[in-house]
């Protein structure tokens, strides 16, 4: 007999809510989804609610499983004040040496010099030099920032920071050292006056970028200046054979650009490619065609690694990039591979400036901006600007 209009079908009386509570699924008594079951209005409603709950839990599970947070930091131990600072630190600095340890990398010694301004600091600026970071460098910026009222911290590594010092090579793993040191300075030297900021040149800009993208430094850095880099944005594109195509920089419509478009090749030049081979444990640029496995390994240790453990949202950090347009090395192309991930609303302030007439492949400070201002003047003005510069944002 057909069921009366509006009355439940006979199969509706066979439902067992107790089973539904135990399993979060409400099957018919015989375990199959029969037409009679779906004809039951109460069953359709209950099943819809239970299926919605199951799907919701599954989505939350996937989000939790695959959305990764920052990579773990290491530790800074046994900081010891030195009787005198090594060469190239700012005159009048107080220097310390400490041990920095990180997961997946050997321990390394770091020396950092703290130069105090007259009066209450307007902020604290950490300077990270290029190459292996073995000398403090950026002394002209240190002097300028100190005169402008900022505390300046220059850092140097005892050995190349990019080399993990163990058999397993990964520049990203080694970058934990810089992120750990920046975090230590934020916690122990920065006193809350003004902003907590950083500036890196060439490979030093990669130290800052790794710290932002992979180690959570966007949680405390208020302003960063990235000069001629970051140079490890996509190591695969710098090393793979066949060669990756040239990169367009500041194409029309690219967010935050100051200057006209140009192109640059992402490949590391000869001597640098040999160093990259040592740092990564893989033969950069051959000989012969590189394998998919090698390309994947380079990509995995890059700042822009294509996975969910890289973060490009720093809403409380102002970011400024400065790139040479002369194409004498790959610093502009590698920098662009990072900057093209930054869009409206992702940073507190953002600009990417083309520098012409650089001194050599990366000498942005001696070049000129599109407004005919020297790079050094433009960078220092930007860092000390009361709106876009090193001010407290956290």
Q: Give Cα 94 distance to the centre of its chain.
A: 30
pLDDT tops 80 at residue 285: yes
Question: Is residue 62 located within the same domain as residue 144?
Answer: no
Q: Are residues 101 and 219 in the same domain?
A: yes
Is residue 17 very low, low, confident or very high in pLDDT (cuts 50, 70, 90)?
Answer: very low
Q: Verify that 286 and 341 share a domain, yes or no.
A: yes
Residue 338 has pLDDT above 70, yes or no: yes
Partners of 319 in the β-ladder: 224, 350
261/306 same-domain check: yes
Average pLDDT, the chain: 87
Distance CA 349, CA 342 (A): 11
Residues 122 and 172 in one domain: yes
The residue among 148, 85, 84, 82 whose CA lies nearest residue 117 is 148
The whole-angstrom separation of Cα 73 and Cα 216 is 9
Return the pLDDT at 307: 85
Within a domain: 394: no
Same-domain check for residues 62 and 84:
no
Both 317 and 380 in one domain: the answer is yes
Of 66, 93, 108, at which residue does a domain stop?
66
| Inside any domain, residue 108 | yes
Instruction: Provide the residue range defining the domain that includes 321.
Output: 78-384
Is the residue at 2 inside a domain?
Answer: no
Average pLDDT of the residues in 334-344: 98
Do 52 and 106 fall into the same domain? no
pLDDT in tens, 183-222: 999 999 999 999 999 999 999 999 999 999 999 999 999 9
Domain-embedded: residue 60: yes
146 & 264 share domain: yes
- What pLDDT score was predicted for residue 69? 84
Q: Stretch 229-254: mean pLDDT, rounded?
A: 98
What is the distance, to the nearest Å, from the Cα of residue 332 to the centroid of all Cα atoms in its chain? 17
Q: How does DSSP assign 154-184, residue by residue?
A: EEEESS-TT--SSSS--HHHHTHHHHHHHHH
CATH number at residue 263: 3.40.50.1820
Average pLDDT over residues 223-239: 98
Query: What's residue 1's pLDDT?
Result: 40
Boundary-marking domain end, from 66, 92, 108: 66
Helix (H, G, I), strand (E, B) or coil at 42: helix
User: Does the structure show a pLDDT above 70 at 49?
Assistant: no
Q: Residue 298 and residue 306: Cα distance in Å, rounded?
A: 11
Residue 206 shares a structural domain with residue 229 = yes
Mean pLDDT, range 104-112, rounded to an integer: 98
393 within some domain = no
Q: At what angle do helices 139-147 and 375-384 cross, to 10 degrees?
A: 40
Q: How many CB atoms lie within 10 A of CB 186?
A: 19
Instruction: Identify the weakest region by mean pLDDT among 50-59, 71-80, 207-216, 233-242.
Output: 50-59
Over range 138-143, report the average pLDDT: 96
pLDDT at 58 exceeding the cut of 70? no
Distance CA 361, CA 101 (A): 33
**182 and 283, same domain (yes or no):** yes
Residue 367 covered by a domain: yes
CA–CA dist 104, 165 (Å, integer): 9
pLDDT at 308: 77
If one compares 11 and 374, the residue with the highest pLDDT of the two is 374
Q: Which residue has the tokens 């966007």?
A: 218
CB atoms within 10 A of CB 184: 21
Cα angle: 4, vertex 8, 12; to 5 degrees:
145
Segment 377-387 shows an average pLDDT of 98
Q: How many domains does the chain have?
A: 2
**Quick check: is 102 in a domain?**
yes
Same domain, 332 and 240: yes
Q: Using the 3D structure, point to which of 29, 44, 66 is the last residue of a domain.
A: 66
In whole angstroms, give the CA distance from residue 156 to residue 165.
17
Of the listed ranges 19-23, 48-52, 279-283, 297-301, the one predicted with least confidence: 19-23
Among candidate residues 277, 246, 275, 250, the one with its CA nearest the CA of residue 261: 250
Give percent above pLDDT 70 in the chain.
Answer: 83
337 pLDDT above the threshold of 70: yes
**Which of 59, 58, 315 has the alpha carbon at shortest distance from 212?**
315
Q: What is the spatial distance between Cα 150 and Cα 285, in angstroms, rounded to a whole number? A: 43
**Residue 72 domain-assigned (yes or no):** no
CB contact at 8 A, 29 and 14:
yes
How does pLDDT run across 304-325, given as a tens digit for each residue? 999 877 999 999 999 999 999 9
């Amino acid at each position: 007999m057909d069921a009366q209009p509006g009355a439940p079908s006979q199969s509706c009386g066979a439902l067992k809510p107790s089973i539904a509570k135990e399993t979060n699924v409400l099957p018919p008594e015989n375990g199959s989804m029969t037409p009679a079951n779906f004809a039951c209005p109460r069953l359709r409603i209950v099943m819809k609610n239970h299926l919605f709950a199951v799907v919701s839990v599954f989505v939350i599970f996937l989000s939790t499983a695959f959305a990764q947070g920052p990579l773990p930091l290491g530790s800074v131990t046994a900081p010891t004040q030195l009787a005198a600072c090594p060469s190239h630190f700012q005159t009048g600095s107080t220097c310390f040496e400490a041990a920095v340890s990180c997961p997946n990398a050997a321990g390394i010694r770091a020396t950092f010099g703290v130069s105090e301004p007259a009066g209450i600091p307007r902020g604290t600026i950490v300077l990270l030099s290029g190459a292996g970071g073995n000398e403090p460098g950026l002394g002209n910026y240190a002097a300028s920032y100190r005169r402008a009222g900022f505390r300046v911290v220059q850092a140097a590594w005892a050995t190349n920071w990019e080399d993990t010092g163990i058999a397993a090579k990964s520049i990203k793993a080694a970058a934990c050292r810089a992120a750990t040191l920046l975090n230590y300075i934020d916690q122990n030297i920065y006193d809350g006056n003004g902003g907590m900021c950083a500036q890196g040149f060439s490979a030093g800009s990669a130290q800052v970028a790794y710290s932002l993208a992979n180690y959570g430094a966007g949680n405390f850095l208020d302003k960063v200046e990235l000069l001629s880099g970051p140079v490890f944005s996509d190591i695969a594109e710098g090393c793979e054979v066949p060669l990756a195509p040239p990169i367009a920089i500041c194409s029309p419509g690219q967010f935050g650009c100051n200057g006209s478009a140009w192109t640059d090749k992402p490949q590391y030049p000869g001597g640098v490619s040999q160093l990259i081979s040592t740092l990564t444990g893989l033969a950069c640029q051959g000989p012969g065609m590189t394998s998919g496995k090698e390309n994947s390994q380079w990509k995995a240790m890059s700042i822009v690694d294509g996975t969910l453990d890289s973060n490009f949202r720093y809403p409380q950090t102002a970011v400024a990039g400065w790139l040479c347009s002369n194409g004498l090395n790959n610093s502009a192309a590698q920098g662009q591979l990072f900057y093209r991930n930054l869009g409206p609303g992702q940073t507190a302030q953002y600009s990417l400036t083309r520098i012409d007439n650089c001194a050599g492949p990366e000498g942005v400070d001696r070049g000129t901006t599109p407004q005919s201002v020297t790079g050094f003047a433009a960078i220092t003005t930007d860092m000390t600007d009361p709106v876009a510069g090193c001010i407290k944002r956290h």
